[in-house]
Amino acid sequence: MNTFHKVQYNNIYNVEWKKLVNWLTPVTLRKKKLLALLYALVSPINDLHTRFITYKKNIDYRLKINYQVCFLQAALNDRFDYTGRRIQIVRSRQFDPQPLFLLPENKPMVLNARPGTGKILYTKSETGQFTADFIIKIPASLQYDLSELTAFVNSYIVQCRTFKVQTY
């Protein structure tokens, strides 16, 4: 493998503007007043460069987060509970739905005929058709905005996944 491909460009965006001004100014013209003027002229570029580096770091951080539970949980804790890191993501329990039939359909129906032999009826939210794919557990003492949390999670998960926020 070529050594060119192994080179990492971690410092490609680092620019020291004062050094650059000093290097590009001829030695004979390097006076305090001229250098102060050049530093003043370069300061807006330095500000834009600092904003760019901050934006780049934010984008790099967002690109490292995906729909996997460990990354999403870390991102939620970074955003909403940085010190305690108490937010957890757990799988929701799903049960198979039990069909109920009407009498004119002539199908057998057993509803807890004898203890241990009948079927258990689950609520609509507990059956496999209507449950969330995962549950975000947040401590009750934590202050958060539900719409902000929902938008934050929706920006990272696959769109067909559903979730529920639960306090503990």
How many CA atoms does the CB half-sphere of 140 hold within 13 Å?
Answer: 1
Distance CA 64, CA 76 (A): 13
Amino acid at 97: P
What is this structure's pTM?
Answer: 0.62
Read off the DSSP letter of residue 27: G
pLDDT confidence band for 115 (50 / 70 / 90): low
Determine the length of the chain. Answer: 168
Question: Residue 160 carries which side chain, given as an amino acid letter?
Answer: C
pLDDT at 38: 96
**Residue 153 near residue 72 (C-beta atoms within 8 A):** yes
How many CB atoms neighbour CB 79 within 10 A?
14
Any idea which residue has 């010190």 for tokens? 83
Q: CA-CA distance, 69 to 148, in Å (whole number)?
A: 19
At residue 23, what is the residue type?
W
pLDDT at 44 over 70: yes
Q: Mean pLDDT in the chain?
A: 81
pLDDT at 100 over 70: no
How far the first Cα of the chain sits from its last, in Å, is 53
- What pLDDT, in 10s, does the model give residues 64-95? 888 888 899 999 999 898 888 999 998 877 66
How confident is residue 163, by pLDDT bands cut at 50, 70 and 90?
Answer: confident
> If 0-12 CB within 10 Å is exposed, 13-18 middle and 19+ buried, where does residue 89 land?
middle
Measured in whole angstroms, the distance separating CA 102 from the mean position of its chain's CA atoms is 46
